[in-house]
Chain A
Amino acid sequence: MAQTQTVTDTGIAELILLWREELATGMESIVALEMATPCTAAVASTFLDPADTAIHHTDSGLLLAAIDTVAGDTVNTAGDTITFDHVFTATASKNVAGIHVCNNDDDVTFIECCFNAVLAMENTDTLTIDGQSTIEQA
């Protein structure tokens, strides 16, 4: 199974809300996904319904938390990229199949990423996430 990552439909809808000058939320939270086998990221995934049978971790240091750093960047055109970094520290043995990057109200998933393989975290293990999303022109 390949590593898959995508901006979700709900993430795009949130961006369009911003362009329409309606109430939109920003990228602020991150949560690890729990599943015994690798998942496949899907555009249709939502905060409440992640890819395949994955669920959000709710404890053990892998639960929903504020992203450590979020910043703007430039790849092709000025300010076309958002970057984010986060470190999870596990407090028990848990499987991590991927991540959800969510909004500040913790009800919308912007980005879903399913890793190449399930990471078997043990107590005190750390997982450093290095992510970026770029909007590319045709």
Chain B
Amino acid sequence: MKVSTKGLFRVYATGEHREGICRKCDKLLIKEFYMDGERKRVRMVCPKCGGMGRLIAKTFSVQPPSPPQCLSVRCLYKFFLDTLFCALLSTYHSRRVAYAEMNRHKQILERYRTGQPSPETIWQAIHANIKLTCPVCRKYNIDPLLGG
């Protein structure tokens, strides 16, 4: 039996924290409006080279899992797995952004600044969380569970 769940407002929001001075040209970035398909958007660019300033950290909008659509064990188990993945992903991105912010002047893996690639499975999320807490693994880009 399918269960109808209530509709909802879904909100996505990301914040992209960048340096405001172009390192290459030593110029202050300026605001530029541009078209992304039919959507008018805004960004900061270097007036000389068009660069966007060095990325410090980009936040990630983790969405809660959809409620179960039926009462079978399979549906409930899927909801449990989705919830677990959501929790692991949230933890990863929170730690990642905090780490990137703390190391804004240091050389770190770009994935910790951009959030991409983001874990897509529970297993990947577990790996990513462990790797992020291990200084040696972060520095040499080693997966602590696989050793390479």
Residues of A within 8 A of B (CB): 1-3, 5-7, 12, 38, 68-69, 71, 73, 83, 85-87, 89-90, 96, 99, 111, 113, 115-121, 123-138
Contact = CB atoms under 8 A, between A and B. Distances in A.
B14 A130 contact: yes
B97 to A, nearest CB: 4
Interface string B86-104: 1100110111111001001
- Say what secondary structure dominates the interface of chain A: strand
A68 B33 contact: yes
B85 interface: no
Contact of B90 (A2, A83, A85, A137): A2
Contact of A85 (B6, B41, B60, B96): B41
Contacts of A69: 33, 39-42
Contact of A138 (B6, B31, B86): B6
Given A119-B56, A138-B6, 6 more contacts: A2-B86, A69-B40, A128-B44, A129-B16, A132-B13, A133-B10
